[in-house]
A and B are shown apart, each in its own frame.
Chain A
Amino acid sequence: MESVRRAGVLLAPRGQRTREPTRLEGVLLTLAITVAGTLLRLLSLNSRSFWLDEATSVRQASWTLPIIFERMSKNVHPPLFHILLHYWVRYVGRDEISVRSFALLFGVIAMPLVYWVGTMIYGRRAGVFSVAIVAFSPFFIWYSQEARMYTLMLFFALLSTGCIYRAMETRLNRWWVAYALSTAAGMFTHYFFAFLVVTQGLFVLTYVIIHRERDLQVLGLSAARWSHPWRILSDCPEAEAWLVSMVVVIAPHVWWIPKVLGHQEITGGIYQSLSYGNTATPGWHFNEVILAAGQALFGMHSDLATRNLSAIWPLAITAAFLASGHVRRASARTWFLIYTGIFGALMIAVIGQWEPIYEVRYFTAVAVPLVILFARLLSEFRTPVLQVVCITLVAVVLVAYADQSYNPNSIVKWDNREAAGTVYRNYRPGDVILVVPYYASSIVEYYLPPEEYFAVRPVPVISPSGKPRNSPALLYQDLSQQVGPATRVWLVSTFLETSRIAQDRSNVVEWFRLNGYSRTEDVQLHRIRVSLYEGGTRKPFFLGQGGGQ
């Protein structure tokens, strides 16, 4: 029969494919790209202040281990990163560069690691392109510079992907063991690692089993045996091994899960608990997913830049049109990446109907297969096309890197360092520091010496039931106690674009007015504001004697 499998103009036909690099070339290229990527990461490592989550990481890592376990069970993140950071902070240091180096470490390790995974799946050429993507992507650079768990998550996602692929390839138990361990670690690093694990399982339990059974049937080796599931397992050792691995992965979570299920985030939703009181409108939240796509491709920029970059989404349709001529029936390994990458990302997107979970960093684990797929696509371009594509990409990436690193006008940058510095430089013992909203207190705390931590007052007070005490009556009552006899009170406020928080701040300011404090200093910085209020003489202990409300 005649065949019309046409190649298009963009991709190299099979006979014309540029040769694979040799082993030595691959390693040397990887090394060179890793060094370049590391330099880019180091160059702007400290070009921005700690933001809220980084300061919170340090606060959480400063707890003792039992306390980390106890409290992180009620947190949105599992504790592995914080435990490791606990020792890192203890032995390396607590300053910004030291803390960020921990994330940087895994961001650097990820580069050779992705070469290993990419090479294993699609060969050295695709492997080298994978390293280049990870090394120069503004997204991966950003998270290598942020003292959070995302590069650790990337590290375990790479290990997990590589190990399960190798395990399916070789059927050796040691790779399954490595898979189980790296996956368990990943699950203790970030809950969204689950999307990678679930889709890996989906691949093994649907794709592998269905094809194995169908092919055994075609070969006449066996009839389909869906009525005898355990015999399917004997046909398909991958499925069996994956299930056993899952026991290992889930086991450490069994005692943990009941605690986790008590999360306010699970009962009340992330959105509600973070905005404490704004009513979350049920419905479709994922309109903003397009912004996440923009950030994944171009990195972190100002609001306008992000929106402008995301607005060019119609070009995605053009790309899809052009690509439609090159789509071929995918092989098992491509399906593996489609399952874990594309289906994983889709799952996050679909769940986003109910919860706006479109922080681009939550896609880090499922980004691993996507990177390798993209590297494969790049490695298939015809040489002249590839040159154009690469030059364009490098130009875009360099501009994006510079803007991301050095443009202070960014939606993901705060002048926290400067704000806390203002407080710290002018702090006198007995001063009280009010922080609005309550969860931003870790920022001020990070930059203060520990013996003054108790001067930090989160506003509003959150009752144990999770309700913020932010009605004016309750707020005033709490403030009179929180401020006590202090005559100098700092008011640090951030996230003021949120109406609820802005309202809280103006209530606090009103309380100052009612109680005779006046503003003596006011520093407005990027996304954070610091004011000093001073109120005459020391208040007496007893309210009836002229102090307080």
Chain B
Amino acid sequence: MRRRPVLRRVVLVATVAVIGVIVTGALAGCGLVRTLPPQAAPGSPAASGANMNPEVASEEIGTRQVPIAGKVEPPLVGAYQGVFVPPAPFDMTFIDAYEKVAGKPASIVMWYQPWARNNRSEPDAAACLAIMRRGAVPLITWEPWDPGYDANFLVDPSNQPQFRLSEITAGYYDGYIRSWAQQLKRLGGPVMLRPMHEMNGTWYPWGGTVNTNTSARYVQAWRRMHDIFDSEGANNVTWVWSINRDSVPDTPQNAFSAYYPGDAYVDWTSISGFNWGTTDPTKGGWRSYTRQLAAPLAYLQTLPKPICLSEIGTVEQGGDKAAWITDAYSRIAENPRIKAIVYFDALEKRPTNTQDWRVDTSQASLAAYQTAIASPYYPSTPPKVLSDWAAHLTTSDWTYLGALIPRY
């Protein structure tokens, strides 16, 4: 038999194997690295438009553009009454149930979406459309972080290197931001976007004093997002700049004003403020509406923008919930600068304590809420920007929008 030297054969096989492994490893490596950011690069199919049936050819559909709505304008008189009712909008039946209980449709529906991949990080155009058809404007609280998969925040919020503001300003998330801009633009209807809220606290990775961030970075990051949306022509997106009622820590570097991106970049301002009652001893006990919000409101009123109370709520424990609600809504009605309220109609369970912010925790509370919002001060018709936009939709636009399917 002919035999070739063993060594030569072994070397040959080894060489081919090593080259193969290197080449394939490189290919695999590229593939893996590309999958790390929350969303693929702009222009990729995932970014190319509305969320259709994943198998349907969406190139043709994606090129269609329905009319684009304008920014959300405040009502001339009164304030929009909005609500946060999880798990809406991912289950719309909660909105319908709320409207039945409250006796009045909401004008704004707010919810939260994180940037962490695979955790509802993509815009859900169908959900937005479902909200619009109920006469409400979607208000998306857009959070560049990884909240973990339950409400207990098992992931340390203040230390998420992949979500440092410097990552955003360096452009790492541009593709993701752009895909949001494109998808919201293609939806066409009015959407309020509230990115990076409560930046003057320490509990989110975009907080100006944690995670190696600075307030200057915050402003830079905000402007970067805004510019991307502008360059995509997503003019139907209304920008809501939202602070916490007090700065933690309370230092000059952490003042409200340090984070203001500028009039050109903000359409609305907003505040979060809750009355925790006695449910959490660290929160300082029962606090009235005024005690809670007087200081931040004073600051926001210096800015030339309509104000939204984007997260507001109270618990039963430690006081009279019905009275608090009645008091709050009467004071809101007295302040013409407040143009929108979003009631935090949710139950929050934490490892150590629980807050039930919902309006129907007691008969008295519900009655107070119903009475308060029944006032014509809070309009029951869809915001003008929304009804204007709907009036411009053709049958064909409509058919197109009907092809949207819920993403989550």
Q: A70-B44, A234-B4, A481-B130 are in contact. Are A255 and B28 (CB under 8 A)?
A: yes
Q: Which residue of B lies closest to A254 (CB)?
A: B24
Q: A230-B6, A230-B10, A255-B31 are in contact. Are A71 and B55 (CB under 8 A)?
A: yes
Cα–Cα, bound, A59→B124 (Å): 25
Cα–Cα, bound, A429→B391 (Å): 19
Cα–Cα, bound, A56→B57 (Å): 10
Q: Which residue of A lies closest to B390 (CB)?
A: A541
Q: Is the CB of A484 within 8 A of B24?
A: no
User: Contact flags (1/0) for A463-490 with B, using CB distance below 8 Å?
Assistant: 1100001000100011001111110000
Which of B6, B403, B404 has the most chain A CB atoms inside 10 A of its CB? B403
* Chain B contacts for A234, CB-based, 8 A: 3-4, 6, 9
Which of A67, A462, A484 has the most chain B CB atoms inside 10 A of its CB? A484
Q: Is the CB of A59 within 8 A of B45?
A: no
Cα–Cα, bound, A458→B399 (Å): 13
- The answer to the question of B223 belonging to the interface, with a C-beta cut-off of 8 Å to chain A, is no
Q: Is the CB of B402 within 8 A of A469?
A: no
Interface residues of A in 379-428 (CB under 8 A from B): none
Q: Is the CB of B408 within 8 A of A542?
A: no
Q: Which residue of A lies closest to B189 (CB)?
A: A541
Q: Which residue of B lies closest to A74 (CB)?
A: B54
Q: Which of A124-132, A157-165, A439-447 contacts B (4 or more CB under 8 A)?
A: A439-447
Q: Is the CB of A251 within 8 A of B23?
A: yes
Cα–Cα, bound, A482→B399 (Å): 8
Other-chain contact of A454, B61, B130, B382 (Cβ < 8 Å): B61
Q: Is the CB of A71 within 8 A of B405?
A: no
* Chain B contacts for A64, CB-based, 8 A: 59
Q: Is the CB of B6 within 8 A of A484?
A: no
Cα–Cα, bound, A244→B4 (Å): 16
User: Contact flags (1/0) for A106-118 with B, using CB distance below 8 Å?
Assistant: 0000000000000
Q: Is the CB of B395 within 8 A of A429?
A: yes
What is the distance, in angstroms, from A461's C-beta to the closest C-beta of chain B? Answer: 4
Interface residues of B in 16-68 (CB under 8 A from A): 16-17, 20, 23-25, 27-28, 30-32, 44-46, 52-57, 59-61, 64
Q: Is the CB of A231 within 8 A of B6?
A: yes
Q: Is the CB of B398 within 8 A of A484?
A: yes
* Chain B contacts for A15, CB-based, 8 A: none
Q: Is the CB of A484 within 8 A of B401?
A: yes
Q: Is the CB of B4 within 8 A of A430?
A: no
User: Contact flags (1/0) for A246-269 with B, using CB distance below 8 Å?
Assistant: 011011001100110000000000
Q: A441-B53, A481-B130, A482-B405 are in contact. Are A455 and B60 (CB under 8 A)?
A: no
- The answer to the question of A184 belonging to the interface, with a C-beta cut-off of 8 Å to chain B, is no
Cα–Cα, bound, A431→B395 (Å): 9
Q: Which residue of A lies closest to B5 (CB)?
A: A234
Q: Which residue of A lies closest to B25 (CB)?
A: A254
* Chain A contacts for B306, CB-based, 8 A: none
- The answer to the question of B400 belonging to the interface, with a C-beta cut-off of 8 Å to chain A, is yes
Q: Is the CB of B93 within 8 A of A457?
A: no
- The answer to the question of B144 belonging to the interface, with a C-beta cut-off of 8 Å to chain A, is no
Q: A62-B57, A432-B399 are in contact. Are A240 and B13 (CB under 8 A)?
A: yes
Cα–Cα, bound, A439→B129 (Å): 24
What is the distance, in angstroms, from B326's C-beta to the closest C-beta of chain A? Answer: 27
Cα–Cα, bound, A231→B56 (Å): 54
Q: Is the CB of B395 within 8 A of A485?
A: yes
Q: Is the CB of A478 within 8 A of B406?
A: yes
* Chain A contacts for B1, CB-based, 8 A: 216, 221, 235
* Chain A contacts for B44, CB-based, 8 A: 66, 70
Q: Is the CB of B405 within 8 A of A244?
A: no
Which of B1, B17, B25, B405 has the most chain A CB atoms inside 10 A of its CB? B405
- The answer to the question of B133 belonging to the interface, with a C-beta cut-off of 8 Å to chain A, is yes
Q: Is the CB of A542 within 8 A of B382?
A: yes
- The answer to the question of A451 belonging to the interface, with a C-beta cut-off of 8 Å to chain B, is yes
- The answer to the question of A538 belonging to the interface, with a C-beta cut-off of 8 Å to chain B, is yes
What is the distance, in angstroms, from A473's C-beta to the closest C-beta of chain B? Answer: 7
What is the distance, in angstroms, from A430's C-beta to the closest C-beta of chain B? Answer: 4
What is the distance, in angstroms, from A242's C-beta to the closest C-beta of chain B? Answer: 11
What is the distance, in angstroms, from B40's C-beta to the closest C-beta of chain A? Answer: 8
What is the distance, in angstroms, from B336's C-beta to the closest C-beta of chain A? Answer: 28
Q: Is the CB of B28 within 8 A of A59?
A: no
* Chain B contacts for A56, CB-based, 8 A: 55
* Chain B contacts for A478, CB-based, 8 A: 405-406
- The answer to the question of B367 belonging to the interface, with a C-beta cut-off of 8 Å to chain A, is no
Q: Is the CB of B406 within 8 A of A469?
A: yes
- The answer to the question of B393 belonging to the interface, with a C-beta cut-off of 8 Å to chain A, is yes
* Chain B contacts for A469, CB-based, 8 A: 406
* Chain A contacts for B9, CB-based, 8 A: 230, 233-234, 237, 240
Interface residues of A in 140-185 (CB under 8 A from B): none
- The answer to the question of A543 belonging to the interface, with a C-beta cut-off of 8 Å to chain B, is yes
Q: Is the CB of A477 within 8 A of B105?
A: no
User: Contact flags (1/0) for B264-305 with A, using CB distance below 8 Å?
Assistant: 000000000000000000000000000000000000000000
Cα–Cα, bound, A502→B31 (Å): 41
* Chain B contacts for A430, CB-based, 8 A: 395-396, 398-399
Which of A74, A477, A478, A541 has the most chain B CB atoms inside 10 A of its CB? A541
- The answer to the question of A546 belonging to the interface, with a C-beta cut-off of 8 Å to chain B, is no
* Chain A contacts for B395, CB-based, 8 A: 429-430, 485-486, 538
- The answer to the question of B135 belonging to the interface, with a C-beta cut-off of 8 Å to chain A, is yes
Cα–Cα, bound, A231→B3 (Å): 11
- The answer to the question of A88 belonging to the interface, with a C-beta cut-off of 8 Å to chain B, is no
Q: Is the CB of B398 within 8 A of A247?
A: no
What is the distance, in angstroms, from A501's C-beta to the closest C-beta of chain B? Answer: 16
23 A-B Cβ contacts within 8 A? A56-B55, A66-B45, A233-B10, A234-B9, A237-B9, A244-B12, A247-B17, A250-B24, A254-B25, A254-B27, A255-B27, A429-B396, A442-B55, A445-B57, A453-B60, A462-B53, A481-B130, A481-B402, A541-B393, A542-B382, A543-B133, A543-B135, A548-B133
Using a CB–CB cutoff of 8 Å, the interface residues on chain B facing chain A are 1, 3-4, 6, 9-10, 12-13, 16-17, 20, 23-25, 27-28, 30-32, 44-46, 52-57, 59-61, 64, 92-93, 105, 126, 129-130, 132-135, 382, 387, 390-391, 393, 395-396, 398-408
* Beyond known contacts A454-B399, A462-B54, A477-B93: 15 more, CB 8 A cutoff: A63-B57, A64-B59, A67-B45, A71-B45, A71-B54, A237-B9, A247-B20, A254-B25, A258-B31, A431-B399, A453-B60, A478-B405, A481-B402, A541-B390, A544-B105
